[in-house]
Amino acid sequence: MSDPRPIGVFDSGVGGLTVLADIRDRLPYEHTIYFGDTARVPYGPRDLAEVRYFAFEIVRYLVDQDVKLVVIACNTAAAAALKALQRSFDVPIVGVVEPGARAAVQETRNRRVGVLATEGTVRSGAYRQAVHNLDAGVEIYEQAAPDFVPLIERGVTGGPELEEITRRYCDPLMEKGVDAVILGCTHYPLISATINRTLGPGVRLISSAGQTSLEAARTLSRRGYLRRPENQEDYGRARYVCSADPEEFAALGGRFLDEEIEAVAPAAVA
């Protein structure tokens, strides 16, 4: 049995492309639709109820596109809305928080875990709860990093400004002696080189993208939803939608994916 319906992936902007890239690597025959809510990025400073409303709006859009799975490639949206979305829609929905928490619990040796995240994700306590559901003895130290997403959405992924801001956010975690740090926003892997250099070789960076793509693959396999191609060259197609400035999204997204994005459709929401 083969299910040709696409996987829907959404984020507040381009950051979720890190998750999309992992999904496409792991599931190369699957069609995908990526929704970047660039008109309303960043989500982090917003009230969680407002983010929840945005998430419902976008999931309805993706369901109307007949997706077979939704991946919330945004930590703030997953923290604000995952459970409510799962209760409200028949389509399976996967978030990024629990896979990242699981990886951190497995990687830490001294049971001191740091979280770099948006203000909204930190306020929600989603990572603290997810980690403690797995290991109540792990100490969690959360650090909001509100300046990262605006910088990344401007295309800034290196340089002295980013170095200074990264040091400011990482120093409190280093003072706590963490040996693993969760990148609690899907934008942050795009600046992981700077974060890794700042934290040093003794701290393991945890990106939830790979773990999330694995969970997506397992969910599709369990439900019999995988696409079975007719031949080995029948790769999945990627479609892109955004809520503001498709040309800017194509340019920045193509840079982050290291491939040309030929077309981006304007969103029917926002």
Instruction: Map tokens 């990627």 to a residue.
Output: 238
Bridge partners, residue 181, by sequence: 114, 205
Query: Catalytic annotation on 242?
Result: no
Catalytic residue (one of 74, 138, 182, 183):
74
* DSSP H helical ranges for the chain: 17-26, 48-64, 75-88, 97-107, 119-124, 126-134, 148-153, 160-175, 192-199, 208-223, 246-257
Residue 116 neighbours by CB under 8 Å, 6+ apart:
143, 145, 148, 169, 170, 173, 181, 182, 183, 184, 185, 188, 195
Residue tagged 């995952």 (tokens): 82
CB atoms within 10 A of CB 154: 9
Q: Omega of the bond prior to 42 within 30 degrees of 0, cis?
A: yes
CB 76 within 8 A of CB 43: yes
Residue 34: Cβ within 10 Å count: 30
What whole-number distance in Å separates Cα of residue 162 and Cα of residue 164? 5
Of the candidates 185, 203, 206, 209, the residue annotated as catalytic is 185
Residues 217-241 as b/e (b if ≥16 CB within 10 A, e otherwise) read bebbeeeebbbeeeeeeeebebbbb
Q: So which residues are the catalytic ones? A: 74, 185
